[in-house]
Structures are given as C-alpha cells and as structure tokens.
Structure 1
Amino acid sequence: MHQRALERPRVTAPIRRPSLALLALALGTFAIGSGEFGSNGIIQLFAADLGVPVPVATYAITAYALGVVVGSPAITLLAARVNRRTLLLGLVALFLTGNGLSAVAPGIAQLVVFRFLAGSVQGAFFGAGAVVAAYVYGPGRGGKAFATVMSGLTVATIVGSPLGTFVGQHAGWRAMYWTVVTLGLLAGLALVAWLPRTEDLHGSSIADELGALRRGSVWLMFAVAALGISSIFAVYTFIGPFVTDAARRDAALIPVALAVFGIGMAAGNQLGGRLADRYAHRGLAGGYAGVLVLLVLIGVAGDDLLVLLPCLFGVGATMMAAIPTIQVRLTALAPDAPTLMGALNLAALNLANALGAIGGALTIDAGWGPLSTVWAGFALTAGGLLLYTATFSRRP
C-alpha cells in the first residue's frame, strides 16, 4: 500500500456513515485496551490465585507486550495483500481466541502463552485501523486519524481497565477476561456493520512493506518510541502497589487511580493528534520532557495520595501527547508502508510495556520499594529523548 493510504486515495464510492466507521475502530481498540490494561489491574489477583509472586506474575504482562512486538510486523507482512477490512475482522477473531484461553488458563505458564497470543493482534489492528481512519478523514490528518484509533485504548484506561479491575476483585480475575471477550464480540459486530467495503483499502505487496524495514531511520524512531514510552508502564503496571503499599490506602482506590491515569491519557491523546498534524517535534519532545519531571515528583513524594493522583494524570497526558507524533514521523519515513508503520508504532509501545514492567520489577526485587519503579522509567525515557534529540530534532 503506497502513500495514497494515508492521503485519501481515489474514492470509488462514497464513504457511508463515516462517523460510525470511526466508532467501530475505536470500539475495537477499546476492547483491546481493556484486555491489555485490565491485566495490569488484576496482576495481584492472578498472582495470588496461581501461587506466584507479583514479579513472576509480570511475565504475563511482558508476554503480551512481546506478542505485540513479534506479532505486529509478522501478521502485517503475512497479510500485506489482504483488504484492511478483512484483516481487521480476522484480527478480532484471533483476539477473542487469545482472551478466551486466558480466562481458562490453569497456571502461570499457560497464561503467559495465551497473553502472547492475545497480544499478537494489537499492532496489526492499530496499523490497519489507522489506514482505514486516514482513508475516512482525508489528507493531512494522519495524526488525528491515529489519535482516533488510539482513543479507544485511552477510554479503555478510564472505563475498561477500572471496570475490569472491579470485576476481577468481585468475581475473580478470570471474569475480567470473559468481560473482554464480550467487548471484543461487540466490536466485531460493529466492524462488520460499519466499515466501508472498498477496493481502495486493498493491501500492497510484501516487497513494499519489507522495503520500509531496510531504512535505518525507521529503526531509530522505533528505538526512540520503545525507550521513551516505557516509563508509562513503569508507572501503570505498578499502580496497585503504589496505592496499597506506598500510599498505604485501601485496594478499593486502585480503580480510581487507574481511571485518573486513563483520563490523563485521553486528554493527552486528543492534544497529541493536533500537535502531530501541526508540528514536527513538539508533541514528542514536550511529552517526553514533561513526563520526566512528573516521574521525579512521584519518586520523591508519591507516597502522598494528593501528590500521586495528579502525577498519574500528568504522566498519562504527557506521554500520550507524544504517541501520535511518533506515528506521523514513522509514516513520513516510510510512506509506502503505512500499515506496517502503524504496527511498528504499537510494537514499540509494547516493547516499552515490557521494558517498563521489567525495569520496575527489577527495582522492586532489589528492595528499593514500590515507588522505585519510576526511576527505571526515568532512565529509559531520558535515553529515548536524548536519542531523538541527537538524530531527529533537526529534521523538518
């Protein structure tokens, strides 16, 4: 698929119900985000039920992230010629399978495998979804298109993840995954009903997609994203311990903290879409710099809930402000492979998930306390900002 995928291609038929098509895409990413972030909210529950410590339970979180990293480019390349509508529907089927199996996993080893399977869907879905959204929006609005697709994920952090945590706390962690399966079924029905059927959304050759992977600048931007975004997960993965162990508050406040973080993500995502379409660097550089300041505040005073909650909002907002810019920059680097660039963006985000979770687990294992995870995130995001400044800040 060439640059016409992000600049509105020749339309062979009017786009019927464009707002509903965009809503269907957002519903899909809402279901995916509810499964991803909902797992973070119930980590203490499935750790206890499966008889493993929390650091070992984070393997399931890491496995999901690695599923995105591996599955995103693999599925995108294998399905290069497939119409984006058909691809999205197939990905929903795989998503339902992975989450259904997660709900019946008998042990941590099986849960790790099933979370990997569920994660393999995410990047390809966001990549194909971004292409469809850009087709609906038209040229010059790639940042807004990606922000629209991402909006489902940010709403999942406000509604889906806290709801999943609530369901897990009251009906068991397995019920959370069945709830995600139900959301996935609803999203699939919406995609069937509302996505446009058009030849303009046909894929391209594998050679076109592979050509993008030979560009060093693409991999540099991938590294910038993976390093920089990791701090969001060095925080989000450990919100439960932040509330109960650091701030010494009741576990009933964990869903509230998750929702505050999610509201910040939603606000930052909308701002980030506008920044990405207007400025080359401000969304990313400003987002990364802002989150570094907030991480220091959490590390120093996050045991006070009145400090912790505003900082959780701020971390979500500043980091999400950067992500649409990453997508626009990746697409500019490889305009002939927009679906793959969307998949790589999500792959980088989930490699960041793994890096943040691993870094946080290491600091906790070292005995430095629950808030120490933010310092692992600080080091990773600072590395991403330095790499971006050194390699991309002078480019138009």
Structure 2
Amino acid sequence: MTNINQSISSGSVDRARIPPFAYLLTICIGVIGSNSLALGPIAPEVARSLGANVPAVMTASAVFGLGTAVSAVFLGRFIDRHGPRRMLAAALLLLAAGLGGSALAPSLAFLVAAQLVVGLAAGIALPSIYTLASVIAPTGRESETIGLVLTGWTLSMVAGVPLSAAIADFAGWRTVYVIVAAATLIACTAVKFAPAQEGATGTATSPLAALSVPGVAPLLIACAAFMAAFYGVYAYIGEHLHAALGLPVTANGLIAVSYGFGFGAAAFLDRLIDRFAAARLLPLIFLAVAGVYVAMAVASGSYAAMLAVVFLWGLANHFGLNVLIMRLTGLDPAKRGAIMGLNSGVTYIALFVGTIGFGAAYARAAFFVLPLAAAGLMLLAAFAVATARR
C-alpha cells in the first residue's frame, strides 16, 4: 500500500519514465475490447450468413461474458503461481485460437462455442494485464500507468467498433475475426519477447482466500455497483435516442465516440491522481459519477446535451476504474492475480445483471429512470469504498 497511498509532489520526485511495455498492454486491452464490442454492429450480417436471427447471434456475446466471468474467478488465481506475463501470453494464444474458430464457424452453435473459448481466454488475460500494469508502474506514476493501459478500451470503442462494421461491409464478417486473431498473435509474440518486469510468482490463491483479504469485499461490492450502473445505462441509450428522440440508428455511433473520447482524455489527467491518496479519492470520484448520472437524467430529452454528458461520463468512469484497480492491486501484492480475477468476474456478472435489471425497468418506465437508478448504485459504491480498509 506504500506506493498507492503516498502523496507525491511533482517537484520533489524524479518522475521515472513509463515503460514501453505499458503501451503493449494497452494494445492487448484494445484487442480484447474489439472482440467484446464487435459482434453487435456485425450481428445482422452474421445472422444472414448463418441462417439465424440477431437475438440468437447475440447469444454468443452473452456466452463470451459468462466464460470471462467464470474463467476470471476460478483461473485468475494461477496468475499468482505462474506470473502475470506467462499467463497473459498463454491467454492471448488461446484467444487467437477462439477468434480463428469464430472466423471459420460453419454454424451458430460453433460460433457460440468459439466465443466461449474467447471468453475463457479473456478471463485470464484481463486480470493478468491489470496485474502487470501495477507491477511495471514506476513509483509515483501508478495511476498514469494504469490509466494508459485502460485507454485500450477507448481504442476498441472509438476505432475497433467502427472499423469492424466497415470491414464486415466490404470484406465480410469473418474477415473481422481473422484480423483480430492476427493482431492477437502479434501481441502474444510481443508479450513473450519484449523486455519488461515479469512479476513475482508464488502460490495459487483460492477465490475465497482472495475474498478474505481485508478490504477486498467492499471494493468488489463497489465494482459490482459501478459496472451494473454503466452497462445498465449504456445498453439502452441507443434505443432511447431512436424511440424517444426519433433519431436514426447512426446517432448511436456518436454516443460511443463521445464516451470513448471522454474515457481516453482522462488519461492526460491521471497524473493528478498520483498526488493524492487513492483511498480518499475513490468515494469522491464515485460521487462525481453519480452526479453525471443525475445530469444525464436531466439531459435525456436533448441529443446535444446527451453528447456532452456522455463525454463527462467517460471522463469520470475512467477515473473511477483507474483508482478502483489501484486500490485492489494494492491490498495484497502476493494475491494480486486472484484479486483481479475476482474483479473481472464481478465485472462481467454485473454486465449481465445490469443489462437484465435495467432492461426490466426500461420496459416499464422512461429512460430517465435508468440514470437515476445508476446514481443510486453509485451512492452505494461510494459508501462501500469509504468503509473499505485502506
């Protein structure tokens, strides 16, 4: 916790350079995010090709999330035994195999099975990436390093999703998976051979043992509330714009881009976080996210206002995710892999629960109710992290 909770003055510390390996981890996040976000835009083409309907095709996305959650919880502990770098390289190899299977899928059942493999690989890769980010971060630049790695989600959202749709239009949906698989193999080779800190190896920690680390449980409760709020609202913005505001489906693209730019722009401000104690900042950040949700409820009748609020949403969510990861990885370095596995598992379970729960609410009420409910979840998250052991 020393590196996490120290207050650092910009003039008193020789700021070490962020290692180039962090940029490689950013690309790894971008590759995983490109797969997880790509199926939605290309689903109609996949459905036509495989003789299925779009909801059936999206089953593959749900199975991917389920595989990620199960793998992260039960296999993430092996990161502590074998080291995050070795586990990341193995996970990327398995990820490439699953993506190759997706590209060759002769039927929907085969595609679903291939995406399950991709999910199992992602469940190991994501906590490995977050663990490595904390290992290689220079003292005093922990938040900047983790923030840089997190911008991989921006790459996948701002560049990966539009490119996937364009590639599917011009070269077919299978080409999308071929390209992502090739990029994954390149990333795997780079992870294996690029110079970087390996991360310590030790013993595998069971999920229950990781959960018993003081401070982990309340932070995971906060993670669940944080992620359920995000996915629950994000899943229905597009439908609200189309059904309530009468906008074309293409308007959803600008919403994604606005969020992505906000999320990415926050990386330039991450150095400010390193000057303060993460434990003290996180409740305030979550309260700020709650305020953004309230603003979204107020702005829900205006597309221009929604674009502005969504940018702030991406900005605030970046800070929240960054500091949450800092807190979790700082609790017990010997159990980082298992703890980050629990974090990824909770994230994807929250994706499922948030999407289903908010969908039920949206079916009975107007959209503005969803961000208000999300604000309530963020108040719960702020309370949980405020009570977590530092």
Per-residue deviation, residues 30-70 of structure 1 (Å, max 9, x unmatched): 1111112223444565567654355x655433332222221
The equivalent of 2:185 in structure 1 is 185
Per-residue deviation, residues 306-344 of structure 1 (Å, max 9, x unmatched): 122222222222112101211122233333212222333
The equivalent of 1:385 in structure 2 is 379
What is the total number of aligned residue pairs between the two structures? 378
Unaligned runs of 5+ in 2: 6-16
Residue identity opposite 1:314 in structure 2: L
The equivalent of 1:330 in structure 2 is 328
| Alignment TM-score, normalising by the size of structure 2 | 0.81
The equivalent of 2:90 in structure 1 is 90
Decide whether the 8 Å contact of 2:290 with 2:374 is kept in 1.
no
Say which of 290, 305, 309 aligns to 1:311.
309
- Quick one: percent identity of the two aligned structures? 22
CA distance in structure 2 between the aligned counterparts of 1:351 and 1:273, rounded to whole angstroms: 31
Residue identity opposite 1:315 in structure 2: W
Change (3 A) 1:383 1:251: closer
**1:258 to partner: Cα distance:** 1.8
CA distance in structure 2 between the aligned counterparts of 1:363 and 1:169, rounded to whole angstroms: 35
Unaligned runs of 5+ in 1: 8-16
The equivalent of 1:233 in structure 2 is 231
Say which of 216, 219, 229 aligns to 1:218.
216
CA distance in structure 1 between the aligned counterparts of 2:269 and 2:276, rounded to whole angstroms: 11
Decide whether the 8 Å contact of 2:214 with 2:389 is kept in 1.
no
CA distance in structure 2 between the aligned counterparts of 1:363 and 1:106, rounded to whole angstroms: 37
The equivalent of 2:25 in structure 1 is 25
Per-residue deviation, residues 60-111 of structure 1 (Å, max 9, x unmatched): 3333222222111322224542233222111111111222233344555544
Decide whether the 8 Å contact of 1:242 with 1:303 is kept in 2.
no
Say which of 261, 278, 289 aligns to 2:287.
289
Residue identity opposite 1:385 in structure 2: L
| Alignment TM-score, normalising by the size of structure 1 | 0.80
Give the secondary structure class of the aligned counterpart of 1:278: coil
* Structure 1 stretch displaced more, 224-233 or 294-303: 294-303
Say which of 204, 207, 210 aligns to 1:206.
204
Residue identity opposite 1:356 in structure 2: G
CA distance in structure 2 between the aligned counterparts of 1:286 and 1:29, rounded to whole angstroms: 27
Decide whether the 8 Å contact of 2:69 with 2:349 is kept in 1.
yes
The equivalent of 1:257 in structure 2 is 255
CA RMSD of aligned residues (A): 3.5
Decide whether the 8 Å contact of 1:80 with 1:204 is kept in 2.
yes
1:52 paired with 2:53, answer: yes
Give the secondary structure class of the aligned counterpart of 2:215: helix
The equivalent of 1:14 in structure 2 is none
Give the secondary structure class of the aligned counterpart of 1:129: helix
Decide whether the 8 Å contact of 1:61 with 1:354 is kept in 2.
no
Change (3 A) 1:301 1:272: same
The equivalent of 1:11 in structure 2 is none
* Structure 1 stretch displaced more, 323-332 or 246-255: 246-255
CA distance in structure 1 between the aligned counterparts of 2:105 and 2:284, rounded to whole angstroms: 42
CA distance in structure 1 between the aligned counterparts of 2:48 and 2:289, rounded to whole angstroms: 32
